[in-house]
Amino acid sequence: KTRANAAKKHEKCENGENAQYLAINPDEIAKLQEESKKIPYKMEIVWRNVALFGALHFGAAIGLYQLIFDAKWPTVLFTFMMYVLGGFGITAGAHRLWSHKSYKAKTPMRVFLMLLNNIALQNDIIEWARDHRCHHKWTDTDADPHNTTRGFFFAHMGWLLVRKHPQVKEAGAKLDLSDLLSDPVLVFQRKHYFPLVILSCFVFPTIVPVYFWGESALVAFYTAAVFRYAFTLHATWCINSAAHYFGWKPYDHSISPVENVFTTIAAVGEGGHNFHHTFPQDYRTSEYSMKFNWTRVLIDSAAAIGLVYDRKTASQEMINRQVDSHGSHDHWKKSMM
């Protein structure tokens, strides 16, 4: 019944051209859930990833210490700037532009976002968007790469430490990725991904503080590169975990995503997750003001200078209808966003 409600809701939305990436089909979901019971699945830990993420967190702890006690002020500011820029490469780029096609961007903007995306090192955009489209279309089933029914830790980062459920691969293979595979900017990123991310995520953030204000290379590496990278990862992962667990559901009570102020701030405007799963075609990913939605500010600024166009939004009438039929009017909470 819950799924059927969700589907009815999505039929009502004026999804436009990106509907094909988002449409939820309750019959298909029920079929997937039945099939999943028959698939023999044993969780297989990928120890290489456990070791790499263990080392990353060890380095990030050193970086945090140095950020507080050793780093020069410009290094602290630069670390923050790299977090925001890399964050934009995920939110404005991989997420709102490429996964959801919620707005269009001219080539210089797409190149800019792809370059920012490398700073965040979260797999190439084609792979990121493929997993994210699976997440929206089959939320909380075994075809969802970070299925929250497998627990908070799995949804947060555990899913990157084990082999994927066969149903992710089977269902995901049916997705239409032709728009991504035909974008030369994304093809370029995929082709040169390794050197691009080593340079953007680690080398560039280390060299700049050393060259421009004489920071120690080790301090620059552990703060602006390693700590900042780990912090951005957790801010992103929190959308899959915290923003599916802790918060309220003004737009749809029947789904796990919630509105969460902490993740709105940490993930530069992406914490309106109940709104986003209900209206995934809306480039704002939240109904509320621009106060913490820095990503929206970036997209709107780029639109003002002609680099971005065709921003899609859900109409206020549609939002109100949705709140009336499937959500609730917790208006006092709006002031927090």
The residues binding ligand ST9 (CB under 6 A) are 46, 49, 87, 90-91, 95, 121-123, 127-128, 130-132, 134, 145, 160, 163-164, 168-169, 172-173, 232-233, 235-236, 239-240, 267-268, 270
**Closest CB 12 distance from ligand ST9, rounded Å:** 23
Which residue of the chain is nearest ligand ST9 when measured via CB? Answer: 172
Q: Which does 126 bind (CB under 5 to 8 A by kind): ligand ST9, Zn ion, none?
A: none
Give the type of residue at 324.
D
**Closest CB 159 distance from Zn ion, rounded Å:** 13
Are the CB atoms for 95 and 270 separated by under 8 Å? yes
**Closest CB 174 distance from ligand ST9, rounded Å:** 8
Give the type of residue at 307.
L
- Report the C-alpha gap between 328 and 169 in whole angstroms: 36
Q: Which does 183 bind (CB under 5 to 8 A by kind): Zn ion, ligand ST9, none?
A: none
Nearer to Zn ion, 224 or 258 (CB): 258
Q: Which does 117 bind (CB under 5 to 8 A by kind): ligand ST9, Zn ion, none?
A: none
DSSP lists the bridge partners of residue 193 as none
Q: Which does 311 bind (CB under 5 to 8 A by kind): ligand ST9, Zn ion, none?
A: none
Which residue of the chain is nearest Zn ion when measured via CB? Answer: 257
Nearer to ligand ST9, 263 or 322 (CB): 263
- Report the C-alpha gap between 277 and 135 in whole angstroms: 10
Nearer to Zn ion, 228 or 244 (CB): 244
Distance of CA 183 to the CA centre of its chain: 20
**Closest CB 179 distance from ligand ST9, rounded Å:** 15
**Closest CB 325 distance from ligand ST9, rounded Å:** 25
Nearer to Zn ion, 110 or 276 (CB): 276
Residue with tokens 């595979």: 181
Tokens of 93: 């780029």
Q: Which parts of this chain interact with Zn ion (CB under 5 A)? A: 257
Give the type of residue at 227.
F
Nearer to Zn ion, 130 or 228 (CB): 130
**Closest CB 249 distance from ligand ST9, rounded Å:** 17
- Report the C-alpha gap between 90 and 98 in whole angstroms: 10
- Report the C-alpha gap between 286 and 267 in whole angstroms: 13
At 32, is the secondary structure helix, strand, or coil?
Answer: helix
Q: Which does 18 bind (CB under 5 to 8 A by kind): ligand ST9, Zn ion, none?
A: none
Q: Which does 49 bind (CB under 5 to 8 A by kind): ligand ST9, Zn ion, none?
A: ligand ST9
Nearer to ligand ST9, 163 or 321 (CB): 163
Which residues touch 134 (CB under 8 Å, ≥6 apart)? 143, 144, 145, 168, 171, 172, 175
Sign of CA dihedral 314, 318, 323, 326: negative
Are the CB atoms for 268 and 88 separated by under 8 Å? yes
Are the CB atoms for 170 and 137 separated by under 8 Å? no
**Closest CB 29 distance from Zn ion, rounded Å:** 15
Residue 192, by phi and psi: left (phi above 0), alpha (psi -120 to 50) or beta?
alpha
Nearer to ligand ST9, 105 or 119 (CB): 119
